[in-house]
């Protein structure tokens, strides 16, 4: 296997990760756009997508190991990180473009459901905290904080709130990069040539 083929293989795996991500994204768009669209998307991103990217990193590193090529920590790290970065970057760009230009209505629904989820969580926290309030002063303080936080959900405050603009997508990708680095470090530690240990 030549160096050029090895590099192509890394980006090929990354492109497959991109396609898999977009298939999941579009599947949720076509079959899961309902009252739980945001929550279900969140669950997929938290539990299903990491498994896909884990598999991609494994295939990338293991293909080099099976070819009998010795890898140092840096080599194994790169083999795991590059396809995830490439696939993740293309996926984030693809989702951003789709939600902001192809179907802004889907973005509006996600924004609405995000805010509704925040309201529900606020009410749940408030009701739970009420059970532990003992004095009238504590009750008044809790009520004051609750009302202050409720104001952040007033129509004036949420007008124009967009959790899926370009800036937010860059934050999401930065958070995803932390996951890629942790996963790549694990693969590099496990797959590096034993002579380095």
Convert the pLDDT of each residue in 43-77 to its tens digit: 999 999 999 999 999 999 998 888 888 889 999 99
Asked if 42 contacts 168 with a C-beta cutoff of 8 angstroms, the reply is no
Across all residues in the chain, what is the average pLDDT?
A: 90
The residue-averaged pLDDT of 70-89 equals 94
The residue-averaged pLDDT of 90-116 equals 96
pLDDT tens figures, 116-130: 999 999 999 999 998
Is the backbone of residue 159 left (phi > 0), alpha (psi -120 to 50) or beta?
Answer: beta
Which of helix, strand or coil describes residue 16?
helix
pLDDT value at 5 more than 80: no
What band does 146 get if pLDDT is binned at 50, 70 and 90? very high
Give residue 161's pLDDT.
84
Reference 107, options 169, 156, 189, 182; nearest CA is: 169
pLDDT tens figures, 160-185: 789 999 999 999 999 999 999 999 99
The residue-averaged pLDDT of 8-24 equals 94
Question: Distance between CA 162 and CA 108 in Å, rounded?
Answer: 8
Asked if 123 contacts 112 with a C-beta cutoff of 8 angstroms, the reply is no
Asked if 191 contacts 65 with a C-beta cutoff of 8 angstroms, the reply is yes
**How does DSSP classify residue 194?**
G
What band does 154 get if pLDDT is binned at 50, 70 and 90? confident
Reference 14, options 67, 70, 60; nearest CA is: 60
Concatenating the DSSP letter of every residue in 115-176 gives HHHHHHHHHHHHHHHHTT--SHHHHHHHHHHHHHHHHTTSHHHHTT--TTSHHHHHHHHHHH
- The residue to which tokens 């007033």 are assigned: 154
């Amino acid at each position: 296997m030549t160096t050029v083929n090895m590099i192509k293989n890394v980006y090929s795996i990354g492109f497959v990760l991109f396609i898999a991500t977009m298939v999941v994204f579009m599947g949720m768009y076509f079959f899961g756009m309902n009252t739980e669209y945001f929550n279900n998307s969140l669950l997929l991103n938290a539990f299903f997508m990491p498994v896909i990217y884990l598999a991609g990193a494994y295939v990338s590193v293991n293909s080099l190991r099976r070819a009998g090529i010795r890898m140092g920590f840096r080599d194994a790290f790169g083999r795991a990180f590059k396809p995830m970065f490439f696939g993740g970057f293309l996926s984030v760009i693809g989702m951003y473009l789709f939600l902001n230009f192809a179907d802004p209505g889907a973005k509006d629904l996600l924004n609405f459901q995000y805010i509704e989820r925040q309201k529900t969580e606020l009410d749940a926290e408030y009701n739970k905290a009420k059970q532990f309030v003992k004095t009238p002063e504590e009750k008044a303080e809790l009520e004051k904080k609750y009302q202050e936080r409720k104001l952040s959900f007033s129509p004036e405050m949420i007008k124009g709130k967009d959790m899926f603009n370009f800036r937010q997508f860059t934050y999401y990708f930065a958070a995803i990069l932390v996951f890629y680095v942790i996963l790549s470090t694990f693969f590099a530690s496990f797959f590096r040539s034993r002579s380095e240990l």
